[in-house]
């Protein structure tokens, strides 16, 4: 919302009723529009959840992972940069040596050359950036996901690789902006420290 977005499409599945109830209360309080998309196959890879929105989204949109928290300035700057028709742009973190917010064993890694994605995946050994889970997408992402699923890869990264093969998957460097993937209690506590104190920069836990 702080980045200027007013319409939201949220894919729900596991605990969907609880999530919908809570967010509907929020939307009424803050006059924001939320459309819910049910994914009955929520236990399958995340590309299935993205593909569930195919019939709803016919123009460029921001795609976010629901367990990632981040500085809203990332979206503002990503929107300002924009995309060409038929491509997607992934916000990446190039601080691969010194970002204490990243779980190196879990993060999706990216190899990019001249802002064009060459490879992406959790097990990629040759990489120079991290996937923040923040995308600006043309609806072409749905076609790419369908192609990837036919080949046996139902992950979002699989769809990105399909676009990368035609140099239609690009990157946007987030610079020093904060982001974190909240997968466990340790990450949750880190997120509390940086996103509830009004701080935009992380210095290892000594935020003021």
Distances (CA, A) of 148 to 26, 165, 194: 36, 12, 36
State pLDDT tens for residues 22-79. 999 999 999 899 999 999 999 999 999 999 999 999 999 999 999 999 999 999 999 9
Kindly state the average pLDDT of the residues 75-96.
97
Domains of the chain, with CATH numbers?
7-195 (3.90.550.10)
For residues 199 and 86, the model is more confident at: 86
Question: pLDDT tens across 140-150, in order?
Answer: 999 999 999 99
Instruction: Find out whether 47 and 154 touch, Cβ atoms under 8 Å.
Output: yes
pLDDT in tens, 155-176: 999 999 999 999 999 999 999 9
Cα–Cα distance measured from residue 133 to residue 137, given in angstroms and rounded to the nearest whole number: 12
Q: 């969907």: which residue's tokens?
A: 16
pTM over 0.85: yes
Q: Which residue has the higher pLDDT, 99 or 136?
A: 136
Average pLDDT score over residue span 99-126: 94
């Amino acid at each position: 919302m702080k980045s200027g977005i007013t319409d939201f499409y949220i894919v729900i599945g596991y605990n969907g009723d609880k999530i919908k109830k809570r967010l509907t209360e929020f939307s009424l309080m803050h006059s924001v529009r939320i459309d819910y998309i049910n994914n009955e196959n929520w236990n399958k890879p995340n590309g299935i959840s993205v593909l569930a929105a195919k019939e709803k989204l016919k123009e460029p949109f921001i795609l976010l992972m629901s367990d990632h928290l981040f500085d809203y300035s990332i979206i503002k700057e990503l929107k300002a940069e924009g995309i060409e028709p038929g491509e997607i742009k992934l916000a990446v973190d190039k601080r691969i040596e010194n970002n204490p917010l990243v779980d190196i064993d879990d993060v999706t890694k990216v190899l990019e050359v001249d802002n064009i994605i060459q490879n992406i995946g959790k097990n990629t050994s040759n990489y120079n950036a991290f996937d923040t889970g923040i995308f600006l997408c043309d609806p072409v992402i749905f076609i790419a996901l369908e192609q990837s699923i036919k080949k046996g890869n139902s992950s979002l990264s699989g769809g990105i690789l399909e676009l990368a093969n035609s140099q239609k998957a690009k990157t946007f460097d987030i610079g020093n902006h904060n982001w974190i993937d909240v997968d466990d209690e340790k990450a949750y506590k880190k997120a509390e420290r940086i996103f509830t104190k009004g701080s935009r920069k992380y210095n290892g836990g000594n935020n003021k």
